[in-house]
């Protein structure tokens, strides 16, 4: 947009940026700055609270790379995805989880859309409100995906609406979610996790500090020795643990991570009728070998429609993938909100209104 109104106050938006050769869209207002890399999955790679200069999104050790400038050393579907993974926040659809076979197509980790360039267009640009729409047509799966990102003046809320359309003339499965990752320096052992009441379980083979196969209710869990674990807390990196657990039957769709030392936190509100599961990926210095090599301190708190790769819940045979009829379209809106607190959060509404403790 050669003749865009380049404001310096109120809401601002620009699609005239590149970062390491990748098209980037930047939205900001008086409180927030949010940057998305259109040429790589429309990933949110910056989410900054201006007042405290806090970056909430985690960055991988290799951060943003222009994958078009290199050739993967192997064709492994897990490695290719992790080589390109920058941290931050991805829209994962229409498959999520480890590599899988999808209607005779080979798909790598967390689907093809996160590795593809998305089209981007500014759809609203006023001092009061800015909005951009990102879109992509997947190749090995039959989906058209749109993502509309909106910010309003003086608001700590970023609104993201995803829309998936099955363009196949047959039913198609989908696993769809918000892959949001936090890391240091925002994330620390002094942080606190709050969320709505939920059940949770630890899939077999995924427990270090958590007991494999454990089933419980938020925030109570047990370790391999049967001792109590408070999941509202974050262990230090020196504990060298890595875990994965899943929350389900959440009464309301929200969670919040508060850093009391900085006096600021990040919350996400989402519809539980769409995102029935909350994946909780936890790396507290304990993931050794490729790709982390014991060097990262990060968590992912990821609302999803399904379990990883659409597998059934433990003890059942029914796949958890969402089913799209031919031509069917489904949408869902999530809201990320920044708040100031040193004590935590008791509730976040679906509009992004935060009640602190």
Confidence of residue 1 (pLDDT cuts 50, 70, 90): low
pLDDT in tens, 107-138: 999 989 999 999 999 999 999 999 999 999 99
Residue 7 lies in a domain: no
Residue 339 lies in a domain: yes
Number of domains the chain contains: 1
Global model pTM greater than 0.95? yes
Q: Using CA atoms, how far apart are residues 27 and 149, in angstroms rounded to an integer?
A: 9
Which position has the higher pLDDT, 348 or 315?
348
pLDDT in tens, 51-62: 999 999 999 999
Residue 219 lies in a domain: yes
Range of the structural domain that residue 222 is part of: 12-356
Confidence of residue 5 (pLDDT cuts 50, 70, 90): confident
Residue 315 lies in a domain: yes
In this structure, what token pair is assigned to residue 176? 């769809």
Residue 313 lies in a domain: yes
Instruction: Give the mean model confidence (pLDDT) for residues 290-309.
Output: 98
pLDDT in tens, 220-259: 999 999 999 999 999 999 999 999 999 999 999 999 999 9
Q: Give the CATH number for residue 323.
A: 2.70.98.10
Q: Is cis: bond before 34, omega within 30 of 0?
A: no
Residue 6 lies in a domain: no
Confidence of residue 283 (pLDDT cuts 50, 70, 90): very high
Identify any residues that bridge with 179 across adjacent strands, giving them in sequence order. 90
Residue 157 lies in a domain: yes
Residue 2 lies in a domain: no
Cβ-count burial of 261 within 10 angstroms (0-12 exposed, 13-18 middle, 19+ buried)? exposed
% the chain with pLDDT above 70: 100
Nearest to 49 by CA among 70, 31, 27: 31
Nearest to 32 by CA among 46, 14, 45, 50: 50
pLDDT in tens, 173-193: 999 999 999 999 999 999 999
Confidence of residue 72 (pLDDT cuts 50, 70, 90): confident
Supply the DSSP string of 34-92, one letter for each residue: EEEETTTTTEEEEEEETTTTEE-B-B-TT----GGGS--SS--HHHHHHHH--BSEEEE
């Amino acid at each position: 947009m050669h003749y865009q109104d380049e404001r310096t106050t109120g809401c601002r938006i620009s699609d005239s940026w590149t970062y390491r050769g990748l098209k980037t869209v930047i939205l900001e207002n008086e409180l927030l700055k949010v940057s998305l890399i259109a040429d790589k999955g429309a990933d949110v790679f910056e989410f900054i609270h201006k007042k405290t200069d806090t970056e909430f999104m985690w960055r991988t050790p290799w951060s943003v790379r222009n994958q078009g400038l290199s050739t993967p050393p192997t064709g492994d579907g897990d490695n290719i995805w992790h080589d390109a993974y920058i941290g931050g926040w991805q829209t994962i659809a229409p498959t999520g989880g480890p590599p899988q076979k999808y209607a005779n197509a080979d798909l790598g980790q967390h689907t093809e859309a996160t590795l593809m360039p998305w089209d981007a267009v500014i759809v609203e640009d006023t001092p009061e409100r800015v909005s951009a729409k990102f879109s992509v047509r997947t190749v090995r799966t039959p989906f058209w995906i749109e993502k509309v990102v909106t910010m309003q003046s003086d608001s700590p809320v970023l609104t993201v609406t995803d829309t998936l359309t099955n363009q196949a003339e047959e039913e198609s499965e989908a696993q769809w979610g918000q892959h949001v990752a936090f890391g240091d320096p925002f994330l620390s052992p002094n942080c606190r996790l709050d969320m709505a009441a939920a059940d949770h379980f630890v899939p077999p083979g995924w427990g270090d500090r958590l007991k494999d196969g454990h089933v419980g209710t938020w925030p109570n869990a047990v370790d391999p020795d049967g001792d109590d674990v408070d999941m509202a807390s974050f262990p230090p990196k020196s504990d060298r643990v890595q875990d994965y657990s899943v929350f389900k039957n959440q009464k309301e769709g929200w969670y919040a991570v508060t850093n009391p030392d900085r006096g600021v936190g990040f919350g996400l509100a989402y519809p539980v009728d769409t995102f029935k599961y909350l994946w909780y990926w936890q790396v507290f210095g304990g993931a050794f070998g490729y790709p982390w090599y014991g060097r990262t301190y990060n968590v992912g708190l990821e609302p999803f429609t399904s379990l990883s790769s659409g597998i059934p819940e433990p003890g059942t045979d029914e796949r958890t993938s969402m089913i799209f009829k031919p031509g069917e379209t489904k949408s869902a809106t999530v809201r990320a909100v920044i708040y100031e607190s040193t004590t935590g959060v008791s509730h976040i509404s679906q509009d992004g209104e935060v009640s602190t403790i």
